[in-house]
Amino acid sequence: MTETKIKPITVIIVEDFKLTRVGLRCALNANTDIDVVAEAEDAVEGLKLIERYKPDVVLMDLGLPGMNGIEAMVKCKEMNFNSKIIALTSHDRCEEVLAALSSGASAYCLKDIDPNKLADVVRDVNTGVCWIDPVVAQMTLNALPKVDNIGVLPDKSSTNGRVPLTEREFEVLKHLVLGKSNTEIAKELIVSVHTAKAHVCSILQKMCVNDRVQAAVKAVKEGMV
């Protein structure tokens, strides 16, 4: 019986520093299930390669010369590229995190991330999971203003009657903002993966968003966590 070969996750790296590109390529290609198919040193070239190869995942540096990474992400959305984008940067500013996520990034990684962890992030993002570097996520949360109605969506007059989150859903939302998967959330809250998934679906419905990334961005922007 012929063994079915699993198609590797295709990746394009958009990074202006050659040494960094080489390091990223070597680190990712060390995994048999990940294949770096192309590299670019600027956003314009990167967009052309994304259109040509249609990779599963793009590692996008934010501090690119000319068109920056945030602008390139917006272009990807406008051109309907379905590639998942991982924002890669040495910066940990709250504004940059929100800008990246709002512009289409599925993950936000600092450049000093462990190579094995980066490979895991590529795998998770490819399956639709949102991930934010825990250090960045905590700094972002600490920088946000505190509000009195923590865990509750704004009132009916400002949210078209959306239902407040339950205490448990608020706990799940905090883990979503930290980029944790359903399996990780289930482990943290000591519940089944099915239950964690049900809570996530309920949160998305109540917040009137389409996915985990939008929920995380909205939660941070509205001071819900």
Query: Order of strands across the sheet with 105-110?
Result: 34-40, 9-14, 57-61, 84-89, 105-110, 131-132
User: Kind and range of the H or E element at 18?
Assistant: helix 18-29
pLDDT number for residue 218: 81
- Regarding whether 163 and 106 lie in a shared domain, the answer is no
Tokens matching residue 93: 């500013």
The residue type at 15: E
- For the chain, list residues with pLDDT below 50: 1, 145, 147-163
Candidates 51, 102, 78, 55; CA nearest to 215 is 102
CA dist., res. 168 & res. 166, Å (int) = 5
- Regarding whether 123 and 189 lie in a shared domain, the answer is no
- Regarding whether 96 and 182 lie in a shared domain, the answer is no
- Regarding whether 101 and 56 lie in a shared domain, the answer is yes
Task: Classify the phi-psi angles of 160: left when phi > 0, otherwise alpha if psi is within -120 to 50, otherwise beta.
Answer: left
Q: Is 74 exposed, middle or buried (0-12, 13-18, 19+ CB in 10 A)?
A: middle
The domain tally of the chain equals: 2
Task: Classify the phi-psi angles of 223: left when phi > 0, otherwise alpha if psi is within -120 to 50, otherwise beta.
Answer: left
Give domain status of residue 138, yes or no.
no
CA dist., res. 207 & res. 15, Å (int) = 35
CA 51 to chain centre: 21
pLDDT number for residue 14: 97
Write out the E strands in 77-151: 84-89, 105-110, 131-132
CA dist., res. 155 & res. 178, Å (int) = 25
Phi, psi of 171 (to 5 degrees): -60, -45
- Regarding whether 121 and 151 lie in a shared domain, the answer is no
- Regarding whether 116 and 21 lie in a shared domain, the answer is yes
- The DSSP symbol for 113 reads -
- Regarding whether 76 and 31 lie in a shared domain, the answer is yes
- Regarding whether 196 and 86 lie in a shared domain, the answer is no
- The DSSP symbol for 77 reads H
pLDDT number for residue 166: 87
Tokens matching residue 217: 């961005």
